Amino acid sequence: MIVLAVDFGGSHISCAVVRDSEILFTEHLPVSSCGTLGAILPSIAKALRSATAKANLSLSQCEGVAVGFCGLVNPYLQTILATNGKYEDARDIDLASWAHDEFTLPLRLENDARMALLGERYAGAAQGFDDVVMFTLGTGIGGAAMINGRLLRGRHFQAGCLGGHFLARTGGRECTCGSIGCVESEASSWILPQLCREHPAYSSSPLAELKQVGFRELLQHEANGDRCAREVLEGCIQVWAGGIVSLIHAYDPEVVVVGGGVMNACDRILPTITDYIRKRAWTPWGQVLVRPATLGNAAGLIGAVPLLQESPNE
């Protein structure tokens, strides 16, 4: 199966032509912070045509267009429901008509985290499993859930996607979602500078001299023996591990796939998370597998194939 795939990421939009589990060609478009979806659609169409041509294929060989969007979508009506501040015009745009007019192809639209889960199941860390939780440690914390081989969507298409907004600390920090004490507001990239500043050893830590502290810097200084970095990181790992236990208790998976940019330090992070889950998750049936994502940023693009193979009303 050959398909066109579009993945709306935080810093760029990836436009690819995908055959089965292989990305034949990708073009990347930068994300402009004040851009509208309507303004960027012609560039996306051009990039998809270009990727198809570079792969020596014609549009008539493609079976559909799959779009992974960073927000809430209705995958049955192919509409965008909520955009978290980006692409404010997105709710008024008829992507299915766009795909038909541009390519004479059917379109499927899904949340980007659900697309990544589909990709990891099709060709990555969750191959062979029908019950999967995806947990993505990026700028924010995202995720998706699959039960019995079907993506969990829920009445308003929010189910499974809000694992970053499960409670981690009653009465805790304000989150961007409106809640308090979420996994994301207790331990993600955007709260990390504050976590460091509030640590008692911060003023004597080399972290205090940095302009910007991300998990990359935190991990470097932790490896160098800095106490502030070590304790902040360990605190974050506890939040993530506890959050994953909530996801296991919520969705009853066989395997949890952990992805996102922070997992570049997989070897430092995943063993502690796995130990916590072994000890703490209540799974009388046996042990949940905990695996690093293997497809990285390609997961959402590869998820285009299984999404287009899915029955539209599944």
Contact (Cβ atoms closer than 8 angstroms) between residue 196 and residue 213: yes
The site that binds a copy of itself (CB under 8 A) totals a number of residues, namely 51
Does position 254 interact with a copy of itself (CB under 8 A)? The reply is yes
Site string for a copy of itself, 186-225 (x = CB under 8 A): x---------------------------------------
Does position 178 interact with a copy of itself (CB under 8 A)? The reply is yes
Report the residue from 11, 33, 60, 170 that binds a copy of itself according to the rule CB under 8 A. 170
Dist CA 161 CA 114 (whole Å): 7
Write down the least CB distance from residue 4 to a copy of itself, Å.
28
Residue 141 CB partners (closer than 8 Å, separation 6+): 135, 163, 164, 183, 184, 187, 188, 240, 243, 260
Q: Could you tell me which stretch among 60-68, 190-198, 231-239, 257-265 binds a copy of itself (CB under 8 A)?
A: 231-239
| DSSP string of 238-296, one letter each residue | HHHHHHHHHHHHHH--SEEEEESGGGGGHHHHHHHHHHHHHHH---TT---EEEE-SSG
Q: Could you tell me which stretch among 6-14, 57-65, 97-105, 156-164 binds a copy of itself (CB under 8 A)?
A: 156-164
Supply φ then ψ for residue 4, to 5 degrees.
Answer: -95, 140
Provide the greatest CA pair distance for the chain. Answer: 63
Residue 155 CB partners (closer than 8 Å, separation 6+): none
- CA–CA distances in Å: residue 70 to residues 7, 136, 283, 304: 8, 13, 32, 15
Does position 272 interact with a copy of itself (CB under 8 A)? The reply is no
Does position 171 interact with a copy of itself (CB under 8 A)? The reply is yes
**One-letter amino acid of 226:** D
Q: Which is nearer to a copy of itself, 147 or 266 (CB)?
A: 147
Does position 253 interact with a copy of itself (CB under 8 A)? The reply is yes
Site string for a copy of itself, 121-140 (x = CB under 8 A): ---------xx---------
Supply φ then ψ for residue 69, to 5 degrees.
Answer: -115, 140
Write down the least CB distance from residue 166 to a copy of itself, Å.
4
Write down the least CB distance from residue 258 to a copy of itself, Å.
16
Write down the least CB distance from residue 76 to a copy of itself, Å.
12
Which residues, in sequence order, are bridge partners of residue 146?
132, 151
Which two structure tokens, joined as six digits, stand for 58? 């014609």
Does position 239 interact with a copy of itself (CB under 8 A)? The reply is yes
Side-chain half-sphere of 151: how many Cα atoms within 13 Å? 33
Q: How far separated are the first and last CA of the chain, in Å rounded?
A: 19
Write down the least CB distance from residue 114 to a copy of itself, Å.
13
Write down the least CB distance from residue 62 to a copy of itself, Å.
32
Does position 148 interact with a copy of itself (CB under 8 A)? The reply is yes
Report the residue from 11, 85, 155, 209 that binds a copy of itself according to the rule CB under 8 A. 155
Three-state DSSP state, 111: strand
Dist CA 310 CA 308 (whole Å): 5
List of residues contacting a copy of itself (CB under 8 A): 72, 81-82, 130-131, 147-148, 152-160, 162-163, 165-171, 177-181, 186, 235, 238-239, 242-243, 245-246, 249-254, 279-285
